[in-house]
Structure 1
């Protein structure tokens, strides 16, 4: 062979090597996956997939080939088996966090969050792991979960993530009193796809506190332009209450579910209003104020005849200030007039030291703690601070249940009035005469 012929062979081999040889052919039961067909065949399908991310130069990858082919044949008709040449599909492999070869992932019940396979590299072990994920998916579907396929949205695989559009954004976000985190994404964005399962999980954990939404910025361009979206994903925070386009704040937290939840809860605690100090007037009021709260602060104030409107308002102001100070705890706050709810006072040992008095109740555990210091800002703050740190004396609620609550009229904000004495005419009343000494 001449020199020119040798160089032609070397050049050809170098060209083939640089393009990355595929380890599997169309005659194998291993499906060749690329960026062009991955979403359609894997992510949006209802089938369970085993996917190997490989490089042709990788010795471990070449050693795996016969076992992987064997697994694909054994699973044919039950579970799909595919391979991705990362030399050709660097972006696709990067989106799935591939850092070494071979990497095997199983796409089962949650296609946006595949399971990493770390078992033995034998056909038997790979097939058994795939079947185990298939069983999990079946159980998930039977219990009412999703089939596993995902839509185009970077975050729409969770029912708790609100799909936002140009037409509903103002109504749902800007014109609501809710707190929002909004992700602006693009369907083709790898980082958006990586964020999706974390965004979905965070939405579920934050339900009832902070709403999470997702807007496809490639479709709903009006809102994307309005908020100056230039990269994906971009996350904006909208505080509770009235909002406009200038209300948006940049999200600067991490991109795991726990990072998102912790960041959002901190914002939530800053934005929540101080709790209302509610008068204990009925059973319904008690349940609405305290049933779902971690603790319930119950105060009994002096009777209005013993402490006029100005006096009572001073006590309520102290309670309101404490409510503001401890609002992040999300406790319930109740107050009652001395003698209006005698069963509650007896159950919580309130009133034995006179009025005003305070007890804090854990409704779920049916335990309570009594304020034994002064009913002042300093005394109450010290008492509540100790409770928030898990300190202080507690006792079980008598009978392990709160007693009957009487229906009473709410205070009208005025001073109390002594009952008018009835004038009695004694002129016609016969009185027994008594002998004088």
Structure 2
């Protein structure tokens, strides 16, 4: 959709703008955007450009343009009031600093979602979250959009009591533990199987305000006992528990709307920052210091182990915590690390409160959690260093030395020419650093690690000659200099041809060479000359048939013991391909493993085009035998697929022919709820990689056994034949239904019956 039709619609439409514009928030400044990045609530932003419009009073506002083009939006906003915040961003045509430039959207108008839970940014010390592009056509499909937005509301802020946890004993223990942490428990008891989107939205909005949100389904066996002891007579009911003897029960009316639910719970919340002790003196416990970040056991894995920075963590025993922690010293250390290295952060763990976490890392003391690079030059968390330090200062130099180095050392003009050619070929921005030092400064190593959404390559020239410096407009007497090479002339041959322009860091105006100053300079250059990473947007223009093994590796990565938590953890919904051949056999493009992998990549690409929320991975089912069997996948059932939700511990496995058609149908059935899921109890840990002979040898052995067993071959052939016949019958039924769509009455009747059936069979993964 172009903007001129939007403008025409705005001029002709008779809608009442003041009434409709209440449905949208205008995001105009960087401060507005930062507030969204820090928020845990779901935001849907429509990005447009209005500079082509009229002048003066005749020029419609961004809100008017949006609402004229999408008249259903006010009704959607009203129905989702409180659950989702809608906004509009107007990107100026000639303003390189416009809010939203960092999204690098291929075309406008566009729809951008903020739906992830904010994480701590170690560089700034603030919470942030990334934006996700969505299909703009969803605004024309209200039902589909509402369903997607409701499912996007975070589940992490509500703990659902199930099985052994859904008892009075566990609830009592839980409330007592939270009371010690000065937190109030909010309990929703409902007939539903899972917490409603409304309840999850309130929990997200009031997160980090002294409240712990819990959900209990009335279908649980011990629910009646809990209701009786809490004096709950009807459901849904909301109970606020300061302790087991001090609780308040709401009426059912309080949980019917978002406003009523929030108004009942909010008075029990503790405003953010009110628990922080900012007075001088002892800062001995978690949350009382601005510069000492204490991590709980539940936060540690997410904020430390899964982050992209080097961490120095002090595990404090009770004696250390009772001391007057020198906050000025912590601040000085943190400032020095930020100026010098950027990607090194500090934190603490209370061994008195987090006994298990402390024991996991050897008791009290200071430990360094470094990063390392994969074979594809991707960051990953390395093993904690074996050394134990006494103080943060003592560990500082060791931590800085572990920063991974992606920079390229240059010793001659020929190497520099090769470097710039390689950067141009990879569509990356070349950054050249001149220094007289023998080693590369940590802040320079940190630059390419700090902009993961952009492609930059950094070259380091040690003791460069005067002629080379002049070539890059660097003063011959300068000991240190930094320049960015940007495209200033693109030839007709393509974007990788043409000349480079030079943008140099000016110390006189930008300040000394520190990590914050260099990052500010680099981000300003990238805002004007973006070099985005290869991002997969939902697009119908993707040619799935052209996918090869290289594309398959990015669409469907191979999962191992080391990367499983990153690829399939948290609230992700994983599609796991269980294949039986060793990874080394994929070197042959004609091998069956290569064929399976590319087939699954085709399915993944098509799934991304449809906007489905899946993370695709594959593993060797023979090597990970115990893990595969937990999903009901045996030796003779590979290749096959399974859908797995780690947060809900539920799964569904596809049984049948492995091809694009059956795999796609399987995934759609899981999303629609027509394919039921099962609970997964006790997920086995992945084992170390198996040797080639262990896998392919097993394959040969299996072949020898089956040669003598003709009955098995006949049985398998019969099963496959039956499945093919069933699929053919389903296709015929589908074609028959399509021919009847022209008759409106019969179509409406069918749709109603389908909705009833889906509702009855719905399964929430």
TM-score category, normalised to shorter length = 0.3 to 0.5
For the pair shown, which has the larger CA radius of gyration, 1 or 2?
1
- More helix by percentage: 2
- Structure 2 length normalisation: TM-score? 0.24
Indicate the structure whose relative CO is greater, using CA pairs within 8 Å and at least 6 residues apart.
1
- Structure 1 length normalisation: TM-score? 0.39
